[in-house]
């Protein structure tokens, strides 16, 4: 009888805890919806600071709100980019990538800002990640080939240019870069070795003009 009472008590406590958790969950969801509405209103007014703040609060209460936060962060990041507030833009894109690391568009946007700040190594990493996620996007190869060319990595730049031309054989930017890279390769090519002296020629004859 005592065992039965103890089991009943445990089940009752578990049910109570579940009900409390459900009640808290409903409360959080309602609060998150409230912040989300504030975020959408701010978005309509293009008040990105308020939108990001509201959606961040909503996402903390309800993970389903995370896509709204990602969108607001991207919009604010692009606004920062336009205003040349590059560190702030990178910060927003980085936070967005923590929430959705497999979005090639965010990698591209961050790479663009990194290029603006001459942080080419990080830009290369972002474009490389974007290519992994979306391997048939010619734009990524064109930008990465540009960075490689800027870093005087002609071989890698040519490889990306060839990939771009494979995707679009008539792409004028890729065709122009290929011609330029080929010219640079020719200019930097080592001189051919002098012709070997014929073993039949005498030393005296070899010195004759």
Alpha carbons 160 and 138: distance in angstroms, whole number: 9
pLDDT at 41: 84
Alpha carbons 159 and 156: distance in angstroms, whole number: 5
Alpha carbons 161 and 69: distance in angstroms, whole number: 36
pLDDT in tens, the chain (209 residues): 455 555 554 454 444 444 444 444 577 788 888 877 887 788 888 888 888 887 888 778 888 888 889 999 999 999 999 999 999 999 999 999 999 999 999 999 999 999 999 999 999 999 999 999 999 999 999 999 999 999 999 999 999 999 999 999 999 999 999 999 999 988 886 666 665 554 554 444 444 34
Domain ranges of the chain: 28-100, 120-185
- Kindly tell me the burial class for residue 83, based on how many C-beta atoms sit within 10 Å of its own C-beta (0-12, 13-18, 19 or more): exposed
CA distances from 161 to 139, 149, 188 (A): 11, 10, 19
Q: Which long-range contacts (CB under 8 A, 24 or more apart) does 126-134 make?
A: 129/104, 130/104, 130/105, 133/102, 133/103, 133/104, 133/107, 134/104
- Kindly tell me the burial class for residue 174, based on how many C-beta atoms sit within 10 Å of its own C-beta (0-12, 13-18, 19 or more): buried
pLDDT at 189: 66
Has domain 28-100 been given CATH number 2.60.120.10? no
Query: Pick from 62, 98, 100, 96: which is nearest to 80 by CA?
Result: 96
Does 120-185 match 28-100 at the fold level? yes
pLDDT at 20: 41
Contact 113, 137 (CB under 8 A): no
- Kindly tell me the burial class for residue 147, based on how many C-beta atoms sit within 10 Å of its own C-beta (0-12, 13-18, 19 or more): buried
Alpha carbons 209 and 206: distance in angstroms, whole number: 8
Matching CATH number, 120-185, of 1.25.40.10, 3.10.580.10, 3.40.440.10, 3.30.70.260: 1.25.40.10
């Amino acid at each position: 009888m005592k065992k039965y009472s103890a089991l009943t008590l445990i089940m009752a406590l578990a049910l109570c805890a579940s009900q409390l958790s459900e009640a808290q969950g409903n409360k959080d969801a309602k609060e998150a919806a409230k912040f989300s509405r504030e975020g959408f209103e701010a978005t309509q007014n293009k008040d990105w600071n308020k939108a990001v703040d509201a959606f961040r609060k909503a996402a903390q209460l309800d993970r389903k709100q995370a896509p709204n936060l990602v969108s607001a962060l991207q919009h604010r990041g692009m606004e920062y980019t336009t205003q040349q507030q590059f560190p702030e833009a990178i910060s927003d894109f980085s936070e967005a990538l923590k929430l959705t690391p497999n979005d090639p568009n965010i990698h591209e946007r961050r790479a663009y800002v990194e290029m603006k700040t001459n942080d080419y190594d990080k830009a290369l990493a972002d474009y490389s990640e974007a290519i992994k996620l979306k391997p048939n996007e010619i734009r990524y190869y064109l930008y990465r080939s540009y960075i490689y060319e800027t870093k005087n990595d002609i071989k890698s730049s040519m490889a990306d240019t060839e990939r771009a031309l494979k995707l679009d054989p008539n792409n004028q930017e890729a065709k122009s870069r290929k011609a330029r890279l080929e010219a640079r390769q020719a200019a930097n090519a080592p001189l051919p070795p002098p012709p070997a002296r014929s073993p039949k020629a005498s030393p005296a004859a070899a010195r004759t003009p």
